[in-house]
Amino acid sequence: MIRSMMFVVAFAECGLAYADDGAVARYRDYLPHELLSLPQEERSSSVPMMYIGAANLAASQVGDVVIQANLNALMYNGLADYNGAKKAFQTDLGEEPTAELTVSQLHTLSYRASRRNLTHVSFFPFEFGGIINQNWASVKGTVKILDEKIAYPVNHVVIECTRSTNTCDYRQIALTIPDENSWVQSYHVGNIADEIYEITRWENDQIDAVPLDAHRCRINQLNLNFATDEYFEIVRNNTAGDCETALGVALPRLERPRLSQIVDGRDIVNAEFQRLDDEAYGYLSSDFRRKVHTSKETNSDE
């Protein structure tokens, strides 16, 4: 298992969760019964799976109950005023309030209701720092790409170096956060990297290392400074042009080396979960949010 291959596999798997943009636009305004009346061949080959799932749910015996529950989860009055709740939801989407939900609206409703359940979880945010002695060293923390957006901000890395073997074991896991196009609306923890590095320098409480496998699109060098508590990864090109991976994905050349730092992850993790909380709150009924805002203003004036 090597770092670049793990990244490419993760990238490819993420790509499978996304429907074709053209198909998403083409079928978004279909009502459930209209979608289900399409020829089986068209549904199986062209219609995005998320729309098929929405249509099947709406047509099922429990469809209305689930839709009402999802509306209630977002503070629409789905049980007492089903049609009114559907219209209010459509209005908040900026779309015509017909009380007949399209497959796109049903999918969005399900996504937003599910988002309310993505609560804060503990993910090693306080495990940061390095230890070194004459024969062994260890670094733990969160990898943060400097000046660029990282694909997996909620991650944890452990590096253990042994002088006698002249190697470092590098292991990184990450929490994958679903978005609206993901198949499953739940967290997933998986390996991002599990590989061995060769130590090229160990002196003055500093360690430099490079991967044992040098036949990759990009080379990731470790620069660990235990004296200053600074731990960096430097990714450089390893090919003259774009690199074709074994999975058929072409990685473009980096315009400049990509610098990452292993840091205390608590602020990064907390900010990510705060982003999720803010996003989920924004999905609540606009009428409910107005009432909350009015209540806060009233309390602040007292």
pLDDT, tens digit (0-9, with 9 covering 90-100), for 229-250: 999 999 998 877 777 776 667 7
Whether residue 281 is predicted with pLDDT greater than 50 in this model: the reply is: yes
Residue 202 sits in the same domain as residue 257: yes
User: Domain range for residue 111?
Assistant: 19-115
Q: Mind listing the pLDDT tens digit for each residue in 256-275?
A: 999 999 999 999 999 999 99
Residue 126 sits in the same domain as residue 91: no
Residue 108 sits in the same domain as residue 152: no
Residue 261 sits in the same domain as residue 127: yes
In a domain, 289, yes or no: no
Residue 103 sits in the same domain as residue 228: no
pLDDT band at 162 (very low <50, low <70, confident <90, very high): very high
In a domain, 287, yes or no: no
Residue 169 sits in the same domain as residue 222: yes
| pLDDT the model gives residue 10 | 37
In a domain, 228, yes or no: yes
Q: Mind listing the pLDDT tens digit for each residue in 93-140?
A: 999 999 999 999 999 999 999 988 887 777 776 789 999 999 999 999
Instruction: Indicate which CATH number applies to the domain containing 166.
Output: 2.40.160
pLDDT band at 174 (very low <50, low <70, confident <90, very high): very high
Count other C-beta atoms under 10 Å from residue 272's C-beta: 18
Question: Among 289, 257, 70, 10, which residue's Cα sits nearest to residue 145?
Answer: 257
Partnered with residue 16 across adjacent β-strands are none
| pLDDT the model gives residue 13 | 35
Contacts 24+ apart (CB under 8 A), 172-179: 172/3, 172/143, 175/121, 175/123, 176/14, 176/152, 177/118, 177/272, 177/276, 178/118
Give Cα separations from 200 to 134, 215, 219, 266 (angstroms).
16, 17, 14, 31
- Report the distance separating Cα 133 and Cα 207, nearest Å: 12
In a domain, 302, yes or no: no
Rounded to 5 degrees, what are φ and ψ at 109?
Answer: -60, -45
Residue 28: DSSP 8-state: T
> Cα 272 vs. chain centroid, distance in angstroms?
10
In a domain, 187, yes or no: yes
Using CA atoms in the order 22, 25, 29, 34, what is the torsion angle rounded to 10 degrees? 10
In a domain, 59, yes or no: yes
Count other C-beta atoms under 10 Å from residue 54's C-beta: 27
Is this structure's pTM higher than 0.75? no
| pLDDT the model gives residue 11 | 34
Work out whether the CA dihedral 268, 274, 277, 281 comes out positive or negative.
Answer: negative
Domain boundary residue, one of 77, 98, 115: 115
In a domain, 202, yes or no: yes
| Mean pLDDT, rounded, for 156-185 | 91
| pLDDT the model gives residue 107 | 95
Residue 174 sits in the same domain as residue 250: yes
Whether residue 7 is predicted with pLDDT greater than 90 in this model: the reply is: no
What is the residue whose two structure tokens read 């629409």? 76
Residue 182 sits in the same domain as residue 216: yes
Residue 73 sits in the same domain as residue 178: no
- Report the distance separating Cα 193 and Cα 233, nearest Å: 13
3-state secondary structure of 177: coil
Number of structural domains in the chain: 2
Q: Mind listing the pLDDT tens digit for each residue in 45-67?
A: 999 999 999 999 999 999 999 99
| pLDDT the model gives residue 17 | 44
Residue 43 sits in the same domain as residue 91: yes
| pLDDT the model gives residue 14 | 37
Longest dimension (CA), the chain: 72
3-state secondary structure of 254: coil
| pLDDT the model gives residue 8 | 33
| Mean pLDDT, rounded, for 168-191 | 87
- Report the distance separating Cα 74 and Cα 32, nearest Å: 22
Residue 123: DSSP 8-state: -
Residue 145 sits in the same domain as residue 256: yes
| pLDDT the model gives residue 282 | 94
Residue 134 sits in the same domain as residue 215: yes
In a domain, 281, yes or no: no
